[in-house]
Amino acid sequence: MSLTEFTNNDIDISDINKSTYQILCVPNITSSVNLEKDSYVLVMENVIKNLNKIRDDLFFHLPLTEYCKRLDFPNTKQYKFKIPSFPNAMRAHYDFFQWNDLLNAKKIEMDIIWSHLPEQTTNIKNHAHNIWSQDIPVVGYSHWIENSEFAPNWKTTFYHNNITGMLQMDKCGLNTQTQIDAILDEAKEHYSQKTIDKLKDIMIPLYLGIETDKISKSVKTDTDKVIVFNHRTKEYRGWKHFIKIIQKLREQRQDFKVFCSMIDPAGQAIVKKSFDDISFFDYDGPSDRNEYIRKLENCRFGFHGGSRWAMSSQDGLCKGVPYVFEIGNETGELFGYKMETGFKTTDEAISLFNRMLDDNDWRNKQSQLALEHCSSVHTWKNRVVPFNNMISDAINKQLSDVIKSGEKKNDIVEFIKKQKIVDTKTMSDYLGWGKQIGFRRYRNYLRTIDGIHTTVINDKEYYIYNRT
């Protein structure tokens, strides 16, 4: 794009007074059929939205299976990627040709890779380094790790790919400190103490949050007698245990219904096998998230099985839905320590189910405790700070890699000052550099020059000289 073309797009370069850092995200999409409800999308939507409230120098490049309205921000660009969403196919799949286009340093030089698939870290770091001579810092967020707890019977897992991928990152966030401790403990079976110490330094807790305006202001006291299981109907979420509890509860009473928002065919098969009459089950999932939330907040209470964190339970808590939860190392981080709804045995769970259905005052007290806990702990305003720190640390680390000598850097500065605005490809062509010449250190050096900024405008990256 020429300067004239640039100006005709009504861009005033005098308004550009800082550099923008380019972040390429490696997605973890498990629900491509309904992308708007996918957990990765929900995480990224809230992280980007809340980062934008505290800084304005980040631009996110997002490969997705299709256009996603929830991720349409002024500082995002979406790329249509053909990628599988079935979990282990997704973890194994790496399309060199698709990623090659995004890693093309002649188009846009990425400052950070933020991977939500730690198991792909080796692939993408190798690609960036050996094809484009880019040693891009990699940070991560692990949505899932196939350790013995989550995949005890799997003959083939990506557990070691998870671990080795995280070892090649600067930092990698996980849901809770409890989860980190469990990973480190299991790693002792396979890795040296030196490796474990390195892993311990890399992994950090990045708790997921709730938007303040999504937290109900008051308790809904006139709910229907509906029990919600709003998780994947998998064993690690306590699905079979939940069915067992419902079977025993149905022997005592039939004045309740069960809402399953994410039931899969295998989960439906278990319901049909376990009950002669399944009419009290509602597993017609809502068409969109807003409808899901409206339906959720009308439930009397929810069930949380297993000991691990669940975004789905956060969905309920912020609407005042109290959960009967299986007490574990991690549930305190999720539910706090004031609610009286934790259980250790099936009998205790059934007793709590009955009390939730019969004692409305007590139920409403637990609902109020849930709302107070969300407001004081779970808001994204609090939760986004460690995300921001992770990104800032990665930026600051690479900025230390600055060329201190050499004539070429002076030629580059003068070229930009003369042109006023130069796209990345023009810069590369001017230098006569191919793939094997790394530009990163020069890019970092340019950030130290008064008046020179890097930014993305109209889907292209530019080096801009603005004397003002």
- pLDDT tens digit sequence for 230-285: 998 988 889 999 999 999 999 999 999 999 988 889 999 999 999 999 999 998 77
Query: In angstroms, rounded to a whole number, what is the distance separating the alpha carbons of residues 229 and 232?
Result: 8
Instruction: Note whether residue 14 is domain-resident.
Output: no
Query: In angstroms, rounded to a whole number, what is the distance separating the alpha carbons of residues 383 and 311?
Result: 13
Instruction: Note whether residue 390 is domain-resident.
Output: yes
User: At which of 314, 346, 378 does a domain end?
Assistant: 378
In this prediction, residue 8 has a pLDDT band, given cuts at 50, 70 and 90, of very low
Q: Give me 347's structure tokens.
A: 């009998």
User: At which of 343, 378, 413 does a domain end?
Assistant: 378
The one-letter amino acid code at 19 reads S
Q: Report which of residues 441 and 404 the model is more confident about.
A: 441
- Do 325 and 365 belong together in one domain? yes
Q: Has residue 94 got a pLDDT over 90?
A: yes
E-state strands within 390-433: 421-423
Instruction: Note whether residue 204 is domain-resident.
Output: yes
Residue 3 is predicted with a pLDDT of 39
404 Cβ contact partners less than 8 Å away, ≥ 6 residues apart: none
- Do 276 and 342 belong together in one domain? yes
Contact yes or no for 274/241 (Cβ under 8 A):
no
- Do 121 and 240 belong together in one domain? no
Residue 437 is predicted with a pLDDT of 60
Query: In angstroms, rounded to a whole number, what is the distance separating the alpha carbons of residues 145 and 170?
Result: 18
For the chain, percent of residues with pLDDT exceeding 90: 57
- Do 259 and 354 belong together in one domain? yes
DSSP letter at 429 equals H
Query: In angstroms, rounded to a whole number, what is the distance separating the alpha carbons of residues 108 and 207?
Result: 31
369 torsion bin: left (phi>0), alpha (psi -120 to 50), beta (else): alpha
In this prediction, residue 105 has a pLDDT band, given cuts at 50, 70 and 90, of confident
Instruction: Note whether residue 163 is domain-resident.
Output: yes
Q: Has residue 355 got a pLDDT over 50?
A: yes
- pLDDT tens digit sequence for 444-453: 888 889 999 9
- Do 45 and 188 belong together in one domain? yes
Lowest mean pLDDT among 14-18, 88-92, 109-113: 14-18
Q: Reduce the DSSP state of residue 174 to 3 states and report it.
A: strand
Q: Give me 351's structure tokens.
A: 């007793």
Instruction: Note whether residue 442 is domain-resident.
Output: no
Q: Give me 30's structure tokens.
A: 């498990």
- Do 40 and 153 belong together in one domain? yes
Instruction: Note whether residue 413 is domain-resident.
Output: no
In this prediction, residue 438 has a pLDDT band, given cuts at 50, 70 and 90, of low
Query: In angstroms, rounded to a whole number, what is the distance separating the alpha carbons of residues 439 and 428?
Result: 9
Q: What is the dihedral of CA 256, 251, 317, 297, to 10 degrees?
A: -10
Q: Report which of residues 172 and 409 the model is more confident about.
A: 172
- Do 273 and 201 belong together in one domain? no
Q: Cα separations (Å) of 157 from 120, 121, 350?
A: 14, 16, 35
pTM higher than the cut 0.85: no
The helix (run of H) or strand (run of E) holding residue 446 is: helix 440-446
When the pLDDT of each residue in the chain is averaged and rounded to a whole number, the result is: 88
Provide the domain count of the chain. Answer: 2
* Domain of residue 106, residue span: 20-209+382-399
- Do 227 and 305 belong together in one domain? yes
- Do 201 and 241 belong together in one domain? no
- Do 238 and 336 belong together in one domain? yes
Residue 4 is predicted with a pLDDT of 40
Query: In angstroms, rounded to a whole number, what is the distance separating the alpha carbons of residues 258 and 282?
Result: 6
| CATH number, position 279 | 3.40.50.2000
Q: Report which of residues 378 and 24 the model is more confident about.
A: 24
> Residue range 420-425: average pLDDT?
88
- pLDDT tens digit sequence for 193-234: 999 999 999 999 999 888 888 889 899 999 999 999 999 898
Query: In angstroms, rounded to a whole number, what is the distance separating the alpha carbons of residues 77 and 301?
Result: 39
Query: In angstroms, rounded to a whole number, what is the distance separating the alpha carbons of residues 248 and 354?
Result: 11
Instruction: Give every strand in the sheet of 203-205, ordered side by side.
Output: 76-80, 58-64, 21-26, 112-115, 138-141, 171-174, 203-205
Instruction: State in Å, rounded, how far the first CA of the chain is from the last one.
Output: 23
Instruction: Note whether residue 424 is domain-resident.
Output: no
- pLDDT tens digit sequence for 121-157: 999 999 999 888 888 999 999 988 887 776 777 778 8
Other Cβ atoms closer than 10 A to 387: 25
Instruction: Note whether residue 8 is domain-resident.
Output: no
Contact yes or no for 179/308 (Cβ under 8 A):
yes
> Residue range 328-346: average pLDDT?
87
101 Cβ contact partners less than 8 Å away, ≥ 6 residues apart: 107
The one-letter amino acid code at 383 reads R
> Residue range 181-202: average pLDDT?
95
- Do 176 and 44 belong together in one domain? yes
- Do 51 and 164 belong together in one domain? yes
Residue 433 is predicted with a pLDDT of 66
Q: Give me 17's structure tokens.
A: 């007074």
In this prediction, residue 2 has a pLDDT band, given cuts at 50, 70 and 90, of very low
DSSP letter at 207 equals -
**DSSP codes of every residue in 365-424:** HHHHHHHHHIIIIIBHHHHHHHHHHHHHHHHHHHHT----S-SHHHHHHHHHHHHSEEEH
Contact yes or no for 130/40 (Cβ under 8 A):
no
